[in-house]
């Protein structure tokens, strides 16, 4: 295990309220307050002048597609994409083939993670058997198997009574419930945000209300049961308002925004480019501004990518028939920095907090800090470097990104997991 000495960085550690020029020291895979003279002589020195050293980024919403859909992504390639984006910890969704609704599938995922992943990858389990919304999955068994949360992400539980029972059981096992908020009765055949643009393009619209109704349902159930419900990829200005008022009452609600929903709007679908098709859909400028305001005042707790790989041949279809979803891991940091720091004048430590300490705490995960004694997970990035993103040359198996071919600002120069460099700014370094 190498001893590391990261020198002359701008060190940002929101957990310790640290933002100052300085050094970061790693010995035996852990952060330490200092190194002895002998340790410094044998340490691997990383000159980081002009760079930011922060905790490894944490993403609690990714799709790694394994088992069963490895033509899109695998746990190995997904972890590579995460490392290239500065992420050292991720939480993967259970909508695989088969879905992760039993302890055997969870163990399979953990075995593959141990074999193939270069970062820390945590599984979630399903809320319902087969993600069909009809009967509860064995939540206790899933907890014992090692899931960090339960969710039917992609297939929102429609039965209010079943969802009530799910959150009651989850509370007994101290598991967060993560919910993709979508009333299916309002979105049948819908492919983009309902509004002026959908009318002009002749595409079936997806109203904000489909999200708002389930957000309100989950707020009610959280207050009724005392369970922690995490609301995934919020996109609607009305939902932001519902969550804000619920938090003012003390509800155990948390919520996330994605880089694409704070950066893009439905106007971009004018060319019928399926790389802009996602669930929930891109919405209006008014919604986008409301999400940013929600991040600023704490209504929305974190940034999460909803990294959702699809092959070229799946996305290269008529807009109505292409699958929802885009890549997110390799572009999340520069896109978020651009929107929040450069455009909206957020403080950089605040934005780092949205992507490190806060998501780790929400899911009760280790990480998100540079505190001595903690596992040495580090993201080292240049906030000013401009670079051209080519999704086909990226680390993911898929290339469905609306940012492919664009120049982004802010580039990861190294990702360190447990004291080992796993991404050196250009390539994945073998474990």
Catalytic residue positions?
Answer: 306
SS3 assignment for 279-330: CCCCCCHHHHHHHHHHHHHCCCCEECCCECCCCHHHHCCCCCCCCCCCCCCC
Question: Closest by alpha carbon to 377, among 153, 72, 121?
Answer: 121
Half-sphere exposure of 399 (CA within 13 A, CB side): 11
Per-residue buried b or exposed e for 95-125, using 16+ beta carbons within 10 Å of the residue's own CB: bbeebbbbbebbebbbebbeebbbbbbbbbb
CA torsion 11→12→16→18, rounded to 10°?
70
Q: What pairs with residue 378 in β-bridges?
A: 55, 416
CA dist., res. 280 & res. 107, Å (int): 30
**Residues 328 and 264: beta-carbon distance below 8 Å:** no
| N residues, the chain | 431
CA dist., res. 356 & res. 349, Å (int): 10
């Amino acid at each position: 295990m190498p001893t590391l000495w990261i020198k002359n960085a701008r060190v940002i550690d929101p957990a310790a309220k640290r933002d100052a020029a300085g050094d970061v020291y790693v010995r035996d895979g852990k952060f330490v307050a200092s190194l002895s003279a002998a340790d410094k002589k044998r340490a691997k020195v990383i000159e980081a002048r002009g760079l930011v050293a922060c905790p490894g980024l944490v993403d609690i919403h990714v799709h790694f597609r394994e088992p069963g859909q490895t033509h899109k992504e695998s746990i190995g390639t997904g972890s590579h994409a995460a490392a290239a984006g500065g992420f050292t910890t991720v939480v993967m969704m259970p909508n695989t083939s088969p879905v992760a609704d039993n302890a055997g599938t969870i163990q399979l995922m953990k075995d593959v993670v141990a074999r193939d992943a270069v970062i820390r990858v945590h599984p979630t389990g399903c809320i319902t058997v087969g993600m069909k919304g009809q009967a509860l999955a064995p939540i206790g068994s899933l907890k014992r198997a090692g899931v960090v949360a339960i969710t039917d992400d992609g297939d929102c539980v429609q039965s209010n009574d079943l969802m009530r029972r799910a959150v009651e059981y989850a509370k007994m096992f101290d598991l967060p419930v993560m919910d993709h908020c979508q009333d299916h009765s309002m979105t049948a055949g819908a492919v983009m945000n309902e509004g002026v643009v959908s009318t002009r393009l002749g595409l079936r619209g997806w109203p904000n209300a489909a999200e708002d109704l389930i957000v309100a349902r989950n707020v009610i159930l959280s207050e009724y049961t005392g369970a922690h419900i995490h609301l995934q990829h919020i996109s609607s200005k009305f939902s932001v308002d519902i969550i804000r008022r619920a938090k003012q009452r003390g509800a155990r609600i948390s919520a996330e925004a994605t880089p694409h929903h704070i950066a893009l709007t439905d106007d971009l679908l004018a060319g019928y480019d399926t790389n802009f098709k996602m669930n929930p859909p891109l919405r209006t400028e008014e919604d986008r501004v409301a999400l940013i305001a929600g991040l600023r005042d704490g209504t929305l707790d974190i940034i999460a990518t909803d990294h959702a790989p699809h092959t070229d041949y799946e996305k290269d279809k008529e807009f109505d028939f292409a699958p929802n979803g885009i890549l997110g891991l390799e572009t999340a940091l520069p896109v978020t920095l651009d929107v929040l720091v450069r455009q909206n004048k957020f403080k950089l430590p605040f934005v780092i907090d949205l992507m490190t300490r806060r998501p780790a705490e929400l899911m009760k995960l280790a990480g998100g800090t540079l505190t001595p004694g903690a596992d040495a997970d580090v993201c080292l990035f240049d906030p000013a470097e401009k670079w051209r993103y080519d999704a086909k040359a990226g680390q993911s198996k898929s290339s469905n990104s609306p940012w492919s071919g664009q120049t982004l600002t802010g580039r990861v120069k190294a990702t360190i997991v447990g004291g080992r460099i796993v991404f050196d700014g250009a390539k994945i370094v073998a474990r």
